[in-house]
Amino acid sequence: MEREFRVAAFERLSDRLAEPAGTAMARAEFGLQGHWPVVRLAVTADLVLTCQRCLGPMQQKLSLESDLVFAEEGAPELPGGFEPIGGDPRKLDLAALVEDELLLGLPLIPHHEAGDACGLATAPAGQSNEPVAETPEMRRPFAGLKDLLKH
């Protein structure tokens, strides 16, 4: 079964996006593994996230594949390599499952890749991004602690 979802319809995902635009494609293949109902889920989406370096929008392509078994966690003799999910396979909410997979597939810290144009803020003319050098009038309140620790 193949289905297309609007990214804007995913409420839990929308607060992690810079723009709730685009679509997610999902392909679900249902079957049996032993006596367990299973689903092989493949999800692809182009999302617009916020770069944590420059705080500008960035494109992130996700391509995810999961093997899921409809059983409670800790059920005996689960097929190997399958992630257990609770519920009845006849009452599956595919949209919620796709949203879960997208949330799990998001990068922890989204940022532009090397070579991509990251809009890092540059210093105004006449200033540099170098650390400020220490000046004689700079006050250092804990400088005396070093001497106290020697005794």
- Domain residue ranges of the chain, discontinuous segments joined by +: 2-105
| Stated pTM of the model | 0.72
- The model's confidence at residue 125, banded by pLDDT at 50, 70 and 90, is very low
Model confidence at 102: pLDDT above 70: yes
Give me the sign of the Cα torsion angle 127, 128, 129, 132: negative
Assess whether pLDDT exceeds 50 at residue 126. no
Cα dihedral 145, 149, 150, 151, rounded to 10, equals 110
Contacts of 37 (CB under 8 A, 6+ apart): 30, 31, 69, 70, 89
Residue 124 pLDDT class (50, 70, 90 cuts): very low
Sheet containing 2-6: order of strands = 2-6, 23-33, 36-50, 57-70, 83-85
Closest CA relative to residue 113, chosen from 43, 63, 61, 44: 61
Amino acid occupying residue 81? G
